Amino acid sequence: MSDPIGQVLFAGAIGLVVIGIGGIVLSRHLFRMVLALVIAEAGANLLLVLAGFRWDAFAPILTQGVAAPGPMVDPVPQAMVLTAIVIGVGVQALALSLVIKVWECYGTLDLAEVRERLEADLAGQAGVPLPGSTERPAGERPLPPATAPAGEVRQ
């Protein structure tokens, strides 16, 4: 409450988390969902480091033969954030691999269209009519989409 810098930093961290989560939930483009995830993770990491901060304290690194010059900030949240950052990048890389594969298969990155195609595919696999449609699907769709992305890849 007391300190304005702390308030600003808290607001920043929370703002990033909320913008990121909002982006994941509201985005209609798969790639933008991944970008939003990057932001949300950055915000959560910032919040975690804030949990270990102390005024007038030093970085938790000692030098040879010298005792700690004064109070140090908490090293534990820093270690956790190190872990969280690396985990986040791994998840991002995997998410992007999946985005690339979805693009190769469906030729679209629009969330609504992908969901539609997904529902159609699942219904086709199972051999049941799509909810809300009267035509029976003809079975599983071939993997290359009707609108081949080939022309899009090259510029």
Q: Least distance from C-beta 112 to other proteins, angstroms?
A: 10
For position 85 contacting other proteins by CB under 8 A, the verdict is yes
DSSP 69: S
Q: Least distance from C-beta 134 to other proteins, angstroms?
A: 14
Please give the single-letter amino acid code of residue 137: P
For position 6 contacting other proteins by CB under 8 A, the verdict is yes
Calculate the alpha carbon distances from 126 to 123, 129, 136, 149 in Å.
Answer: 5, 9, 11, 27
Within 10 angstroms of residue 113's Cβ, the number of other Cβ atoms is: 13
Selected binder of other proteins within 70, 73, 135, 138 (CB under 8 A)? 73
Selected binder of other proteins within 69, 70, 98, 146 (CB under 8 A)? 98
Q: Least distance from C-beta 83 to other proteins, angstroms?
A: 5
**Residue holding tokens 């480091």?**
49
Nearer to other proteins, 117 or 134 (CB): 117
Q: Which two tokens stand for residue 81?
A: 């954030």
For position 65 contacting other proteins by CB under 8 A, the verdict is yes
Please give the single-letter amino acid code of residue 39: I
Q: Count residues near other proteins (CB under 8 A).
A: 121
For position 137 contacting other proteins by CB under 8 A, the verdict is no
Q: Bridge-partner residues for 29, per DSSP? A: 110
For position 70 contacting other proteins by CB under 8 A, the verdict is no
Q: Are 48 and 13 in contact (CB under 8 A)?
A: no
Within 10 angstroms of residue 45's Cβ, the number of other Cβ atoms is: 20
Interface map 106-135 toward other proteins (x if CB under 8 A): x-xxx--xxx-xx--xxx-xxxxx------
For position 148 contacting other proteins by CB under 8 A, the verdict is no
